[in-house]
Structure 1
Amino acid sequence: MKKTLLTTLLATAAFAPVAMADFSLNVGAINVSPDESSSYLNVVETVAGLPQNSSQLAVDSNTQLGLTLDYAFTDNWTLEVVAATPFSHDITLNSTVGAVNGLKVGDTKHLPPTVLAQYHFFSKQDAFRPFVGLGLNYTLFFSEGVNQELTDVLVATGAATASDKVSLHLDDSFGVALQAGFNYRLNQKWGVHGMVAWADIDSDAEVRVNGTAVQPIDVSIDPMIFMLGAKYYF
């Protein structure tokens, strides 16, 4: 029994450094730059007296702390999990009517956990290794808020009263993600990590008055994602 236990412990101790050597952590700045489009806000256009098909939503970019964990299960193939601190985005009106163009609609936060399979080129012993990746993205929207500017417009046009509660809701999204980048190894433990990615993020949004949807909106965010940071090899 003691011999079996000793053998097991020795095998585990021998395997642990090898297993940990397959993991690496990337930490750095990650930027999400939406290439957004949306359906027209026809209900808002009607109540505000705007021309039909003149107004859509726009979403600004945001930079946060990015954290990605890599597991190399062969010399060329790696599984990567991408995470970040929550992104915050301002939502505005993109309109051909100058008086309301840039009107602040609201804001939202989101988390974009993404899992990718990466293929790394060149040899494991090479310092510089470019890679490409393909995976799936899940975007969780939360903390949606409506700006007072939108509420004022709805009240002024009679679509809402001053006592009504105006809110904004965005559905979560699930879609494909594409990636390309590089790792440059500086020494046994440290390196540089850079990547650019694209994610298919589509959401059904609603402007609500007292919980009732008054303006449904199809939003296609489809952002470019950029990251540059430090890489640590376990």
Structure 2
Amino acid sequence: MKKTLLALAAVCAMTSGAAFAQQTGSEGPLMVRVRAVNLDSANGGSTNPNLNLSVNNKVIPELDVSYFFTPNIAAELILTYPQKHDIRSNGTNIGSLKHLPPTLLAQYHFTNFGGFKPYVGAGINYTRFSSVRFDPAVQAALNPSVSKNSWGGALQVGVDIPLSKNMYLNFDVKKVYIDTNVYSNGAKVGTFKVNPVLAGVGLGWRF
């Protein structure tokens, strides 16, 4: 029975692979993209208006790996390295932190626009805050701290434009929901909602 099941699984896998190859031509199921992304924070999104917290906007590098289960359905993992941001309160720099925000998205790719391949995605983001540093005067007066972990949703829209065989120009926009609780002397004083929009441009290769 085990041998029969293994044989059936092998036949199904080969049939699925052959069908995918027929549908996508020479393209394989894997796509790797590199992007330059402008991170535009929703600055000021604090639940405590007295804090009026913000972080600086910046351009960051981004790497993502997508796997196509069918020509239309894919999963994308988005990665970067920990990004450093200044922390401001009412426009005054009070410290800095780093955040690492890997994001996993399920995507639908439209295949009826000729060479253009627009897509939409939705998924989940996990952000890890680290290397949180505050100005010594602020630290002495308020003993501030932030939550180290954030979970939130993510939305995406983009397009892949063919340049040559298996290489694409990519435009991509994401809205990612990131927040962290803010504490002073151990007591919660608000929640800072970063919630950035990330607009990126880059290149992708299909294997």
**Displacement after TM superposition at 1:57 (Å):** 1.0
2:32 matched residue in structure 1: 25
Distance (Å, rounded) in 1 between the aligned partners of 2:51 and 2:104 = 35
Q: Which runs of 5+ in 1 are unaligned?
A: 1-7, 41-52, 95-101, 160-165
Distance (Å, rounded) in 1 between the aligned partners of 2:187 and 2:156 = 38
1:3 matched residue in structure 2: none
Distance (Å, rounded) in 1 between the aligned partners of 2:59 and 2:103 = 17
Does the Cα contact within 8 Å between 1:64 and 1:85 map onto a contact in 2?
A: no
- Report the identity percentage: 30
Query: Structure 1 residues 141, 225: CA separation in 2 closer, same or farther (over 3 Å shift)?
Result: same
**Displacement after TM superposition at 1:54 (Å):** 4.1
Q: Over residues 52-79 of structure 1, what are the superposed CA-to-partner deviations in whole Å (9 max), with x where a residue is unaligned?
A: x544211211222100101111111111
Q: Which moved more, 1:82-91 or 1:18-27?
A: 18-27
Does the Cα contact within 8 Å between 2:104 and 2:123 map onto a contact in 1?
A: yes
Secondary structure of residue in 1 paired with 2:66: strand
Distance (Å, rounded) in 2 between the aligned partners of 1:61 and 1:170 = 21
Q: Which runs of 5+ in 2 are unaligned?
A: 1-9
**Displacement after TM superposition at 1:142 (Å):** 0.7
1:116 matched residue in structure 2: 105
2:171 matched residue in structure 1: 194
Of the three residues 69, 74, 81, the one matched with 1:73 is: 69
- Number of residue pairs matched by the alignment: 188
Q: Over residues 157-185 of structure 1, what are the superposed CA-to-partner deviations in whole Å (9 max), with x where a residue is unaligned?
A: xx6xxxxxx45333311111100010011
Q: Over residues 186-225 of structure 1, what are the superposed CA-to-partner deviations in whole Å (9 max), with x where a residue is unaligned?
A: 1113111110010111211224xxxx42663311111101
Distance (Å, rounded) in 1 between the aligned partners of 2:106 and 2:146 = 32
Structure 1 vs Structure 2 CA RMSD: 2.7
Does the Cα contact within 8 Å between 1:62 and 1:87 map onto a contact in 2?
A: no
Distance (Å, rounded) in 2 between the aligned partners of 1:136 and 1:55 = 27
Kindly provide the amino acid, as one letter, of the partner of residue 184 in structure 1. Answer: I
Given the alignment of the two structures, is residue 232 of structure 1 paired with residue 185 of structure 2, yes or no?
no
Structure 1 stretches of 4+ moved >4 Å: none
